[in-house]
Structure 1
Amino acid sequence: MENIEEPMDSNVPVILQSEKLAEYIVETAVYPREPQLLKELRELTQNYPRGFMGTSPESGQLMSILLKLLNAKKTIEIGVFTGYSLLLTALNIPLDGKITAIDIDRKAYEVGLPFIKKAGVEHKIDFIESPALPILDKLLQDPSNLGTYDFAFIDADKWSYVKYHERLINLVKVGGLLVYDDTLLGGFVVWPEQDVEASHRPYRKALIEVNDALATDPRVEIALASVGDGLTICRRIA
């Protein structure tokens, strides 16, 4: 049969606006499947100071699938904020699963704590109020921790991502995942530096360095997905 190309309406843009496409994704595939407690926590977080720091629900949806595919039981989270990703992880690991959750701000964590308690998953969480590096170094001092974590999620200070990676790579098992959030920084990573607002330049520089480091690390396989604000998924292979 002859291949006939259908005419394109000249009034329809060839490239969809990213905002419209993102809206379509969440309205069609994410929000209808989002658990009620996660939805309530997300909506509460939007009105919390710096609420934009919360994990995007589309990133969370992908993470929930990854956790289930891994049969993850022991996880670690660097950067908790109000706990959307923490609650999501707790809902997707077994009853006897454990999460080491590290953040400098317990006040923000306590915003999401009622939702965690209502979900009946508080017993899975060991929340540690501290900068992450000292805790990671302490975990590394115990040989029984090495290569025992199934999954790590990192959504904290971007200029420390490379330092976190060098520690977490030894805590996560071969075949486990390390997932870094916000690695596209709203697209600023591809903007010329002079076009980026001065306050965003340190973040842009840090994430470019992170992305380059992860892309060339022979210990992991990676996929940089344009989900949410960028989600880099690393599978440890060595």
Structure 2
Amino acid sequence: MTQYLVDETIEDYAFIHTGEEPPLLQELIDKTNENMGWPQKLSGRLVGRTLKLLSAIHQPKVALEIGMFTGYSALSIAEGMPEDGRLICCETNPRAIEFAQTFYDRSEHGHKIEVIFGRALETIENLDLELDFTFIDADKRNYLNYYNRVKEMTRPGGLIILDNVLWSGKVVQPESEIDDILVETNRVIAQDPDVENVFLTVRDGLNVVRKIR
């Protein structure tokens, strides 16, 4: 069951008045709900269309996704990228990778996506890339580690977007280790002189960060 952080009718109104995702992504949602555990991990329309719009505006040539799940957010980002864009996705769930690839193979944007199996921190240590755009949506215990490493790899002007930064509202009254890590990550970003950011209350919270130096 969806947990709403704002009034459910307002959330539904925003959903209805946001442009629909392509039919393939709508099918991906249905198949994920039917066949995969934890389907609520899907980014969903509000986050997905935000990612697509930011990608289309920013036109990243090299992008990274940390935590791919069944590929909804990856296809949303790839949709906005230029034809020669490259999106590297880190994922530790072999079944999710296999599921996502069936949709990448059918998408006109699937050729932009490269999936790497393994722990994201180990994967990105082996990437010799300058990043234009990153979406972080994996193990919350490593959020600050992801942010710090990705920031080093991001060119000035590049975007870093972190999902679930409200953590169902628990960041307001933290009670666990994960809550504390997300609180600290949000604090570090807000006080980082090398970036500018806007904290959006979209779904479970999006922190949109632009590296300025």
Give the TM-score, by structure 1 length. 0.82
Partner AA of 1:35 in structure 2 = P
Q: Is the 8 A contact 2:52 2:77 kept in 1?
A: yes
Alignment match, 1:157: 139
Whether contact under 8 Å (2:199, 2:206) holds in the other structure is: yes
**Distance in 1, Cα, partners of 2:212 & 2:39:** 35
The match for 2:16 is 27
Measure the CA separation in 2 of the matches of 1:232 and 1:81: 20
Structure 2 unaligned residues grouped into runs of 5+:
1-5
Aligned 1:120-135 pairs, distance under 5 A: 120-135=108-123
**1:25-52 CA distances to partner (integer Å, 9 max, x unpaired)?**
112224xx22111111122223320111
Identity %: 34
Query: Residue 150 of structure 2: SS of its match in structure 1?
Result: helix
2:181 corresponds to: 206
Q: Is the 8 A contact 2:104 2:113 kept in 1?
A: no
Aligned pair partner of 1:190 in 172, 178, 203? 172
Alignment of 1:104-143 (within 5 A): 104-139=92-127, 142=128
The residue correspondences of 1:1-238 to structure 2 (distance < 5 A) are 18-30=7-19, 33-47=20-34, 48-139=36-127, 142=128, 145=129, 148-191=130-173, 193=175, 201-238=176-213
Q: Which has the larger radius of gyration?
A: 1
- Cα distance in 2 for partners of 1:207, 1:192 equals 9
Q: Distance in 1 between matches of 2:102 and 2:108?
A: 10
> 2: distance between equivalents of 1:68 and 1:215?
25
**Amino acid of the structure 2 residue aligned with 1:226:** T
**What is the one-letter code of the residue matched to 2:8?**
E
SS of residue in 1 equivalent to 2:97? helix
SS in 1 for 2:87: strand
CA-based RMSD: 1.7
Task: Give the match's secondary structure for 1:34.
Answer: coil
Shift of 1:192: 5.9
Deviations 1:149-186 (A, max 9, x none): 21000000111011111111121110010000000011
Q: 1:133 to 1:23 in 2, by over 3 A?
A: same
Runs of 4 or more off by more than 4 Å in structure 1?
none
Q: TM-score, with normalisation over the residues of structure 2?
A: 0.91
62-71 vs 37-46, which deviates more?
37-46
Q: 1:171, 1:165 → 2: CA distance? A: 10
Quick one: distance in 2 between partners of 1:108 and 1:192? 30
DSSP 3-state at the match of 1:235: strand
What one-letter code is carried by the residue in structure 2 that aligns with 1:29?
T
What do the CA deviations read for 1:15-34 (whole angstroms, capped 9, x no partner)?
Answer: xx62221111112224xx22
CA spacing shift, 1:98–1:183, aligned 2, 3 Å? same
How many residues in Structure 1 have an aligned counterpart in Structure 2? 208
Letter in structure 2 aligned against 1:34: E
1:207 CA displacement: 1.1
